[in-house]
Structure 1
Amino acid sequence: MFELEKRPTASTRGIVDPSAARGGFELVRLAPAPDLADLVERHWVVRWDLPPGEEFTQVVVPHPNANVVAEADGFAVHGIPAGLFSRTLHGSGAVLGTKLRPGALRVLLGTPDAVRPGLVLPAAALAADGGEGARVADVEDAGRRAVAAARAGDDVGAVAAVTPLLRAVAGRRRSARSGVALARVARVLGGVVGGELGPDAGVADLAALAGTTPRSLQRLFAAWVGVSPKWVLQRHRVHVAADLIAADPGFPLVDVAAAVGYYDQAHLSTDFARAIGTTPAAYARRCAASRAAVSPLVPTPGPRA
């Protein structure tokens, strides 16, 4: 059996223009209960308090993960978005999200349709089989309590509101088959994100990590994740490239391309624009402007006597 990495990640990968994001909302991440770490990567809380009449729009470049999200408008299950995800914030509020591990949504929903791109369902779908401890009323109440706790600044309480629901559903729907499938997927994703493979790795390298063939790996991801191994590699490269640019907008783009495994800058530009909606050069200009706007003014030293 493969061993799962069970610590929650803490990177900003996927958050477009992270310097601007820090001025728009607060993001807190929390580890899941140990008995749910095979299905849950982490919980997250987003909290904001904007001046009257102002709004803030955040764009996210999705990872191969589904989320269960409790917010004022309802409690819902979100599969991997078909494209960019954006949300415009007004006034004040809070959201509790549970970022599932790749493939975990199929386990919790118990249906192959869980991997459909752009899937959005009421969280009550988790109680579709009427199992004990996960009635529709219980699901909706858990979402309301999670939002109330998050708004009050009680992040631990927000997570505690949804954990029994996730535990009840997982207890009914886990199986030996799903455990093996998710462990193989986790082995591949861990190798990609953890840097075990070189930046120019291909699908065959991912298959070797999982001890299978490229074709079998493609079938595994199609059945359990909803995106291909090639998509995972390309998306990871774009995430890392965006991180490098955001951290240093002056980083030469040809060097960014080489650092994330592209043979030339043109191929990076194509994948980057497809995923993020803008070219690396335009993104660098945006990040530079945001960094300048949020950086404290530092007095220029005067001449020495």
Structure 2
Amino acid sequence: MTALFRRVIGSFGTIVDRVSSLVVPPGLLRWVAGIDVATAAGSVAVDVPDHATTLLLRIDRRELIVMGPRTQASYHVGAPVHSCVRVRMRPGRAQALLGRPLRDLADRAVPLRELPGLDVDQLAADPIAALEKALAGRPEPSGRLEEAARLLVGATVATTAARLHISERRLHTLFTDGTGLSPKHFARIDRVRTVLAADAGRWSDIAMAAGYYDQSHMTAEFRHFMGVPPAAFTAGRRPAATPCTA
């Protein structure tokens, strides 16, 4: 395995020419998993599958967008000099921030006219300060979904529900409302991201560490989400990139 995986996954799972990742202060960690400022420069970018919801600000247009979870990798050429601020939310936090379930947001990007308390101009100039101001005083959402997401790593849906003392139907509703994905789909994307973030090693060992039955199971799932098997991806043999029209 090459070191390229390390560049791919990061917090957001995107390769672009220039990315500046910001340190998330303790006061925001209960809401935010990562913040960065990315600039495309006309080269190929890879957006890997992601079970998180992301707030994105197009700096040039002052356009605020909420991006639901991605269920497939995309390969595209970014328009030159387009910059954006990206805020990757923790499980369940975007639902509380937006005040609505996320069950219809998977693979969608929805423009937001406004987000109460969030100053778009300040977000472009100082993302940390803007988010601290917008989230100050907000009651912390329930941590049940994050707890469920942690338990789901390496466990079945049935086992996770039993450990939380809830029904599988209730667990399904918790995930679809809070992430836009079913628990099973959430776990499958998490495993692929674990493979992408893995250190160099034997594929069989990586498959076991990520929670797959075996290497062939990992290869099949990786191909489903990424379009090519792991070895081809690391070697740079990937699907053709398409122009980004956003």
- Normalising by structure 2, we get a TM-score of 0.76
For 1:240-263, what per-residue CA distance to the aligned partner results, in whole angstroms no more than 9, with x for missing partners? 22223xx43xx4333332332222
What's 1:295 paired with? none
Structure 2 CA distance for aligned equivalents of residues 65 and 121 of structure 1: 15
Structure 1: gaps (5+ residues): 1-10, 128-133, 150-156, 288-305
Structure 2: gaps (5+ residues): 1-8, 238-246
AA of the residue aligned to 1:61: V
AA of the residue aligned to 1:31: V
- Number of residue-to-residue matches in the alignment: 227
Q: Is the 8 A contact 1:31 1:42 kept in 2?
A: yes
What's 1:27 paired with? 20
Give the match's secondary structure for 1:31.
coil
Structure 1 CA distance for aligned equivalents of residues 37 and 76 of structure 2: 14
Classify 1:125/1:231 alpha carbon distance in 2 versus 1 (closer, same or farther; 3 Å): same
Structure 1 CA distance for aligned equivalents of residues 31 and 211 of structure 2: 30
Superposed, 1:188-203 pairs within 5 Å as 188-191=148-151, 199=154, 201-203=155-157
For 1:171-215, what per-residue CA distance to the aligned partner results, in whole angstroms no more than 9, with x for missing partners? 4xx58xxx33xx1111122345xxxx5x4x211332244332333
Structure 2 CA distance for aligned equivalents of residues 216 and 240 of structure 1: 26
Question: Which of 140, 156, 160 is the matching residue for 2:129?
Answer: 160
Superposed, 1:36-47 pairs within 5 Å as 36-47=28-39
What's 2:106 paired with? 117
AA of the residue aligned to 1:234: R
What's 2:241 paired with? none
Note if 1:237 corresponds to 2:237. Answer: no
Give the match's secondary structure for 1:117.
coil
Give the match's secondary structure for 2:20.
strand
AA of the residue aligned to 1:164: K
What's 1:185 paired with? 145
Give the match's secondary structure for 1:26.
strand
Deviation at 1:120, TM superposition (A): 2.5
Question: Which of 203, 209, 216 is the matching residue for 2:170?
Answer: 216
Classify 1:27/1:114 alpha carbon distance in 2 versus 1 (closer, same or farther; 3 Å): farther
Q: Is the 8 A contact 1:13 1:239 kept in 2?
A: no
Higher helix proportion: 1
- Root-mean-square deviation over aligned CA pairs: 3.0
Superposed, 1:31-180 pairs within 5 Å as 31-32=24-25, 34=27, 36-47=28-39, 50=41, 55-71=42-58, 72-73=60-61, 74-85=63-74, 88-112=77-101, 115-127=104-116, 134=117, 142-147=119-124, 149=125, 157-167=126-136, 171=138, 179-180=141-142
Q: Percent identity?
A: 23
Give the match's secondary structure for 1:95.
strand
Question: Which of 241, 258, 261 is the matching residue for 2:211?
Answer: 261
Q: Which has the higher contact order (CA 8 A, sep 6+)?
A: 2
Structure 2 CA distance for aligned equivalents of residues 33 and 112 of structure 1: 26
For 1:246-281, what per-residue CA distance to the aligned partner results, in whole angstroms no more than 9, with x for missing partners? x43xx4333332332222322212211111111122
Structure 1 CA distance for aligned equivalents of residues 76 and 131 of structure 2: 22
Structure 1 CA distance for aligned equivalents of residues 77 and 151 of structure 2: 34
AA of the residue aligned to 1:28: S
